[in-house]
Structures are given as structure tokens and as C-alpha cells.
């Protein structure tokens, strides 16, 4: 069986006449933590929106489990997206709903489970992210790190094959960010979930990343790819070397 769970071929993205990304090629292996890195404004989040189906690329193709996601029918596209879990940068929780109600949303939308089963799944998912007992809390009653954890619990509600995390450590202090990194590692190890992380947080990249692509605005594309350790020693390109060694 092909171990590539995602494959991107010759993808280009334009917003109006502005080139965001061009000629993007990479693949993501089943069960790895894959990092999409780069400075602010380089197109990282734009690439993630393509990967999760929120936007259609100008050209090129995205394959999920060998199926052409870009050109698939609405029905097939919807089925593929059922295997995605997504944490958006702001956590994306609905402020007027309790944490339990937030996590229930995808379960009520996409399953026929009864209230008892849904309630049990919510408890399991909250326990998974270290928030057991917080079912009745509102998002505003949680810290930033706890909201991110609750967002991950909701993203995991339907047991996705692929978990997408957009800037998970954004806005968090170093200790909270490190704890979130450990959660990501534990989910990956325990559940074998493929995790795609968009970030420019260098400590997080080295803590959790198996492989990395670095996107740079100078070429509107991938300037290097490899393990974090390989890219730290990437002497062939000063942009890559400076990014991975914190050189301004």
C-alpha cells in the first residue's frame, strides 16, 4: 500500500492577480507529523485552506489516499473531508456554547448516535486532551491553551485520519506551548493520526516535526524540505539556514 496519505502536485494559488504559491510539490506520509513552516505572510495558511478543501487551487492537484481531491465530485469531496479534523488559529469554538456542546456539533451533524453515546464520546475526547470535567464551561472561561485543547478535542470528535492544526501555539506562553506540543506528540503516537501543522514557531517545529517544508515569499513556493535537523544544517541557502538557526 502506498504510504502517502496526501500528495500535492504542481499546485498554484492566485488571489486576483497576486501570486501566493506556485509549482508546489510535496507529499505527506501516513502517521507522520508534517510541518508547513515559513515567515508570516508566506502562504502557509493559504496552503492549508487548499489541503482541507476550503479553497480550490488555481492549478495543480491534491490527492488524498490516492483519490484526486481537487477534481472529485461534491459527494466524493464531502466523504474525503469527513476524514479531516481541523483546529483553526483562533480555536474556532462557538462562544455561546459550552465545551460539551462545541464537541457535540460534528457528532450531531455527521452521525446517528444517540445522546448517551455522544455524551460518552465527548468525555473521552476531553480526557484525551486533558480537559476532563470541563464539559459545562464556556470558551471564555478557559485559558488560551485550554481553548486550543478543546478545539483539538472537537477536531478529533469523528476520529479523523488527518488532523490539521493552524498555528496551534500562536498566542501561548512557552510553557503552555510546550504542553500543547506534548499533546500533539501523544495523539500522534497513541492514535497513529497523521498531523499537519502550520507554524513559524521554531521550538515547536523541533519538538514535534518529523518532516518540514519551508515556504518563502521570495519564490512563492517551497525553498527547502527535510527533517528539522537537516534544515538546521542547510548551508546551501542562507534563507533556510537563517530561519532554522534564528538568525535575523
Residue 245 belongs to some domain of the structure? yes
Residue 143 lies in a domain: no
Cβ neighbours of 133 (radius 10 Å)? 9
Mean pLDDT for all residues in the chain: 94
Segment 106-124 shows an average pLDDT of 94
Q: How far is CA 42 from CA 19, 22, 242, in A?
A: 11, 12, 16
157 within some domain: no
HSE on the CB side for 227, CA within 13 Å?
6
Summarize pLDDT for 124-167 with one digit per residue, the tens: 999 999 999 999 999 999 999 999 999 999 999 999 999 999 99
What the block records as the C-alpha cell of 109 is: 451533524
Can you give the pLDDT at residue 171?
87
**Domain for residue 179, yes or no?**
no
Residue 119 domain-assigned (yes or no) = no
Higher pLDDT, 88 or 68: 68
Is residue 222 situated within a structural domain? yes
User: What pLDDT score does 90 carry?
Assistant: 76
Per-residue model confidence (pLDDT) at position 88: 87
- Is residue 163 situated within a structural domain? no
CATH code for position 53 = 3.40.50.300
H-only helix segments in the chain? 44-51, 74-81, 99-110, 115-128, 144-155, 174-191, 202-208, 228-232, 238-244
Q: Is residue 220 part of a domain?
A: yes
Find the domain containing 74 and state its range. 1-83+194-248
pLDDT band at residue 22 using 50, 70 and 90 as cut-offs? very high
The whole-model pTM stands at 0.94
| pLDDT above 70: residue 210 | yes
- Of 191, 175, 209, nearest to 129 by C-alpha is 191
Out of 15-19, 82-86, 187-191, 241-245, least confident range: 15-19
Q: How many residues does the chain have?
A: 248
- Looking at the 3D structure of the chain, how many domains does it have? 1
DSSP 30: T
Amino acid at each position: 500500500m502506498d504510504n502517502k496519505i496526501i500528495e500535492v502536485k504542481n499546485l498554484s494559488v492566485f488571489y486576483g492577480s497576486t501570486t501566493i504559491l506556485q509549482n508546489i510539490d510535496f507529499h505527506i506520509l501516513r502517521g507522520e507529523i508534517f510541518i508547513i513552516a515559513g515567515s508570516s505572510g508566506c502562504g502557509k495558511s493559504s496552503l492549508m485552506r487548499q489541503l482541507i478543501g476550503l479553497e480550490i487551487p488555481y492549478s495543480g492537484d491534491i490527492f488524498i489516499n490516492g483519490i484526486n481531491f481537487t477534481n472529485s465530485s461534491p459527494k466524493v469531496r464531502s466523504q474525503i473531508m469527513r476524514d479531516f479534523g481541523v483546529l483553526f488559529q483562533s480555536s474556532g469554538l462557538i462562544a455561546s456554547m459550552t465545551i460539551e456542546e462545541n464537541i457535540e456539533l460534528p457528532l450531531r451533524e455527521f452521525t446517528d448516535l444517540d445522546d448517551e453515546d455522544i455524551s460518552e464520546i465527548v468525555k473521552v475526547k476531553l480526557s484525551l486532551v486533558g480537559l476532563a470535567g470541563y464539559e459545562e464551561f464556556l470558551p471564555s472561561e478557559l485559558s488560551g491553551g485550554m481553548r486550543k485543547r478543546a478545539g483539538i478535542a472537537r477536531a478529533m470528535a469523528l476520529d479523523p485520519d488527518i488532523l490539521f492544526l493552524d498555528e496551534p501555539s500562536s498566542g501561548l506562553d512557552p510553557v503552555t506551548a510546550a504542553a500543547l506540543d506534548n499533546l500533539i506528540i501523544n495523539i500522534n503516537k497513541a492514535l497513529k493520526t497523521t498531523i499537519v501543522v502550520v507554524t513559524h514557531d521554531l521550538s515547536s517545529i523541533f519538538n514535534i516535526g518529523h518532516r518540514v517544508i519551508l515556504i518563502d515569499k521570495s519564490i512563492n513556493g517551497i525553498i527547502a524540505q527535510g527533517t528539522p535537523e537537516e534544515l538546521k544544517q542547510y548551508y546551501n541557502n542562507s534563507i533556510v539556514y537563517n530561519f532554522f538557526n534564528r538568525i535575523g
